[in-house]
Structure formats: C-alpha cells, structure tokens
Amino acid sequence: MKKKYIYSMMAACMLSVTSCSGFLDQEPDKIMTDEQIFNDAVMIKSVLANYYGRVTWGQHVADWGSLAILDEGVKCDGGPDQRSTFEDDLWRVYDYTLVRDINQFLKGIRETTALTDTEKASLEGEARFLRAWYYFNMCRGLGGMPIVGDEVFDYQVGMDVTSLQFPRATEAETYDYIITECQTIFQMLSAEKQTNSARANKWTAKMLEARAAVYAASIANYNNKMTTPLKTSGGEVGIPADKAASYYQIALAAAEEVINNSPYQLQDRKDDKGLNFYEAVCVKDNNTEVIWARDYKYPGQTHGFTTANAPKSHMEDIDNSWLGAVLNLVEEYEEIDSETPGQKSPVVTMENGTYKFYDNASAPFASRDPRLWGTVIYPGANFKSVPVILQTGQLVKNGSNWDFLVGDLDSKDAQGNMITSINGPKESNEQYINKTGFYVRKYLDETPSSGTRGRGSEMWMPRFRISEAYMIAAEASFELNNSKAVDYINAVRTRAGVKSLANVTFENIVHEYRVEFAFEDHRYWDMKRWRLADQVWNGNNNDPQARHRRLWPYRVVAPGDPNDGKWVFVEDFLFMSPNARYFKMQNYYNFLDLGWINNNPKLVKNPYQ
C-alpha cells in the first residue's frame, strides 16, 4: 500500500469555500499515515466516530437558540428579538471536505487486511450512510449539488483545475443518489439496535431512504402547484410533477419495511400518555422508539440545554428560562374530546362578554392531546414531580370592576398571596424570566445536576423515530389514494391518546407532524417541502399564525365572588417578537456562496439569487 495521509485540511478546488490560490498549494497537514490508521481496528473506529461528530446540522438540542427561530419557541433572554426574516444561508450545509475525508476512509477500508469482509462491509455502510446524510442535508437546503461519488481528488500544483470542477446535479438526481445509496447500505449494515441509537444500522438507512423519497415527492407535487414554480433551467432546482407518484411509492415501501420488520415499535408502556410520550422521545433506557440519535455521554460530551432552559423555580445554576414555547404551538394540541380531531383547539379566554374562568391554572391544557404535556411545561404542570407555577399576576375585583395586579417576580400581596410567580411570565428586558407563559419540556433532563454548568446534560437528540415511519407511510398513502393512510396516522394518534380519525386530509397530516415532532428539526423542512412556509410566515403583523403569541395566567382575587380563586388567561402578541415572521420566496432554497461559484463557475445560482 502506498504511503498516503489521512487529513482534513485539503479539498478539491471545485468544492473549496476558500480561494484556490495559496490554500491548495500548501502541503497537507500530516496527521497519521494510512498504514497507521487502517491496520488498527480501534483507530479505524475512532476516525469513523469523528465523522459522526461532524454531521450535526439544523435545529439541535446543543444549540437551543436554533429552537427559537420558527413558531415553536422563542428567546426569553433579554429584550425584544427583532429578527423576523429568514437568512439566505439558514441551516445551509456545504462540506465537501467531509465528503473527501469519507471517501479516503472508504478507500482505506476496502484495501485494508486488518478487518474481515463482514467488518469492512459494516464500517463502509456506516461511512456511506453519513455521506448520504450529508447529501440529504445539503440538498434540502440548496437543491441539487455536485455528486462526486467515491472519488478522492488530489490537487497538484499547475494542474488544470477544470477537471476538479463538477456541475450541479439536478435536484431529482441528488435525491435519487441518496435513495440508491440507502438501498445499497441497507444490505451492508446490521439489523440490531445500537447502544443509545448512536450509530447507524440498516433501519437508519431505510428511514433516510423514506425521508428523502417523501421530500422529493413533496417537491415534485407541491412545487408544481405554485403559481410560479421554483426551478432552474437545468433542473438543479425543481422536480418534474410526473415523478411524484414514484417517489411516494418508494417512501411508502421504505417506511413499511421499518414498521413491519425492524425491532422498533411505538412506545406505549404507561397509562399516563403525556409521560409516555416524553419518555419515548427523551429517555434512553429501554427505548423502543428512537432509531437514530445524536447521543451525549457524561463525562466528556454533554450540553447545556437543561441548564439554560429549566424553569427558574427548578434551576440548578444561575442560568434558566432562556427558551419559551409559544401559544401558536400549544393550541395545535387538540382537546381530547374535540369534535374536530386532527385540528388545533384554540384556548378560550373570553366567554359571554367576560373572562372565561377556569378552576385551576392547568385546566385549559390538561384535557388536551397528552403530547402537549410531553413537549411543553404549561401552568401548574409538574417537572421533577414539583408543579411549575406560572402566574403573571392577580385579577382583582373592585366593586363591579376587574383590575389586573402585577408585581415583581416572587411577589406577594398583604395577605401573603402570590401576585407574580418566581417564574413569571412577565414583560421585561431582563434575563431569566419566562415571557410566553410556557416552558419547553422536551429535552429537559431530570437527572440530578444535569442543569449545572459543571456537569451538563447527556440528553440525546432523536433524528429518526419510528413514529416518523408511520407518518411517512400515512402521507405517502394519502397522496397515492391508498386507504391505509388512516391506519398509519391513527397508530400514532392512538399511542398519543387522542381520538382516531375517520378519514385523512392533508391538513390532518400537517397537524400531526407538527405536534408529534415539535423541536425535532422537522417543522422548517416540512413547511418548505409542502410549499406552505410563505403562506404561514407571511409577514402580516395582523395574522395570528405569522406572529408569535403568548398566554398569561392570572389568579382571581374576589372574596365572596363564586370565581374567587379561579384563573383567567389573557392572550396577546409576544413582546419579544414585535414583527411577524416573513418567509420570502427566495428562502425556499439557500443562496450559493459567491466564493463557491468563483472556485467553480459550473455552479449555477439558485432562484432569486
């Protein structure tokens, strides 16, 4: 074997984010020789682990700020957040250095004699899966991009760089590549569950196949129903409408393979459906739901989500209350006895010309889809078995009038009754105060000391859950006019503890994805692939779906009145988000960096760029 080097500093000119001159003329940093790496099974796995650590994109538990960009949660830290538009490079993925490194790894794996053929196949399958995952994340943001296969490009000083410049593949070709890779990888990987679902197995590959296919199908379907479809003349953006059905069929077959033959199942072990859902998403021990996750382990790899976002009343360090859930999301969780299952249920705040009086602070929420409890901490809900008190103030009766009384955090009236809770919510420019009326429960870790800066949390971030296989099967079946759609969506709803649907509409599917996968890096991409983002985040300040909304609870103080001790709720647009979210047509596809185009003139720009 020739002596070559594993390094991550060099990339082909056509893929580099940096100018060719200077950078590519340098000698690569020599870390370890191929012989040192590929003759040592431990070192081989170490290199592969490095690649797993480099594929964290999109919304993420370790980057809780990313969870405050859409219409699920918002920043409560400090004063108003003026951000209302979406950047042209939001969650953009472009890392051909990683592709080159993986391709070098694949070459070394195939040539080594230190592993058995079975071991080689498994490691190659994992590496190729990570490469396919990269292409998927790149494609859903940028559209079709260059596909370099297994090639490892070596730049030599003075060589003709045009040989290193690849044109963009079409969007359809890129999704086809991902799908085909996953079908091949499926045959190479183990069928067994991996520890904490941290490594890919054949079911991970099958889930990526299903997701890539349903994304491609959605674009072929809904992009072509727009007044002005988004596309380029070479097909780098846009997929022909006649390809939709075949993509939906691939998605359905892949999802059904996972549902029928994998070791994973919808986790439904507890009578308390809210707790059951939280554990299905957030608890690793004996989990039957999560197929692939970004795992964390103490000591060594932890994150500060719980430290930053725990309720103030439950904080373990100075940090708390950074992220708040918004009413927009909370209302999506339908009432269990709803006459219109599969649709949101607005919170009633006014009744017969006056306030709607509730018996307790949890009353507007406790009878909703139990997934709300597993996702959001609402007023009076428990965290670590202790209620989280959210109270903005008091509604005091003065004669025939009602007056609001608001105080500082943890304030009391002359009788010792709480005015404003230590948690708020409260309108303020200060840190560490909830401002929406809701906390985020999903990803909060109940492990002692996980909310401290010194320890941090080892809460994982699920990327694939088997409930997504059911939802992809439901969506694909619906689009193919297959009667099985209702069975698949009802499997998810039954596990959740809500009414079954008699039939399925597109709106039911959109709703179900939102409540099942809140804060799991689905919402943004779903809205884009269905071409709904510009309709919902339309920039209209008078549109309640485009504006972030809050809901503040007040305890009634009215001695002698039958409503004394009850609760009322006041809805308003959120102080922290003064402007409606505005998704422009150009946001459906990221802009290409001009540096990439300078290095490779074959890269055509995206629409509106």
Q: Place 158 in a pLDDT band, splitting at 50, 70 and 90.
A: low
pLDDT for 36 equals 76
Question: pLDDT band for position 160 (50/70/90)?
Answer: confident
255, two tokens = 């999802």
- 300 pLDDT above the threshold of 90: no
Residue-level pLDDT at 483 = 96
Least confident of 123-137, 140-154, 514-528, 583-597: 140-154
Residues 6+ apart with CB under 8 A from 82: 578, 579
What stretch of H or E contains 254?
helix 244-261
Instruction: Kindly state the average pLDDT of the residues 601-609.
Output: 97
Render pLDDT for 56-83 as a digit per residue (tens, 0 to 9).
Answer: 999 999 999 999 999 999 999 999 987 8
Tens-place pLDDT, residues 260-291 = 999 999 999 999 999 999 999 999 999 999 99
Q: Residue 436: pLDDT above 50?
A: yes
- Tokens representing residue 224 in the block: 């072509």
What sections of 353-434 are H helices per DSSP?
363-366, 371-375
Residue 5 pLDDT > 50: no
Per-residue pLDDT tens digits for 108-147: 999 998 899 999 999 999 999 999 999 999 999 999 999 9
**Amino acid at the residue 348:** V
pLDDT average, residue stretch 476-490: 98
pLDDT for res 20: 34
Q: How far apart are CA 524 and CA 70, in angstroms?
A: 7
> Under a CB-based contact definition with an 8 Å cutoff, are residues 45 and 22 in contact?
no
CA distance 52 to 114: 22
Mean pLDDT of all residues in 549-559: 97
Dist. CA 102–CA 98, nearest whole Å: 6
- Average pLDDT of the chain to the nearest whole number: 93
HSE-up (13 A, CA, CB side) for residue 413: 14
Query: Is the predicted pLDDT of residue 9 greater than 80, yes or no?
Result: no
- Residue by residue, DSSP assigns 431-464 as SS---SS-EE-TT---STTTTSTTT-B---EEEE
Is omega for the bond preceding 544 within 30 degrees of 0, making it cis? no
- Summarize pLDDT for 397-423 with one digit per residue, the tens: 998 899 999 999 999 999 999 999 999
pTM over 0.75: yes
Query: Predicted confidence band at 557 (pLDDT cuts at 50, 70, 90)?
Result: very high
Q: Quick check: 17 pLDDT over 90?
A: no
Neighbours of 269 (CB within 10 A): 10
List alpha helices for 447-592, DSSP H.
466-479, 485-496, 506-516, 523-529, 533-536
Using CA atoms, how far residue 379 sits from 7, 198, 428, 434, in Å, is: 52, 34, 19, 12
Q: CA 579 to CA 576: how far, in whole Å? A: 9
The per-residue pLDDT for 81 is: 82
CB 491 within 8 A of CB 470: yes
pLDDT of residue 19: 30
pLDDT at 2 over 90: no
Q: pLDDT at position 10, please?
A: 32
pLDDT at 608 over 50: yes
**Is it the case that residue 481 has pLDDT exceeding 80?**
yes
Whole-number Å distance between alpha carbons of 33 and 437: 56
According to the model, what pLDDT value does residue 152 have?
Answer: 87
How far does Cα 501 stand from its chain's mean position?
26
User: Is the pLDDT assigned to residue 310 strictly greater than 70?
Assistant: yes
pLDDT at 12 over 90: no
Handedness of CA 254, 260, 263, 268 (dihedral sign): positive
Provide the β-strand partners of residue 554: 393, 568
What's residue 18's pLDDT? 31
pLDDT at 372 > cutoff 60: yes
Q: What share of the chain is helix, strand, coil (3-state, %, to 5)?
A: 35, 10, 50
| pLDDT digit string, tens, across residues 254-266 | 999 999 999 999 9
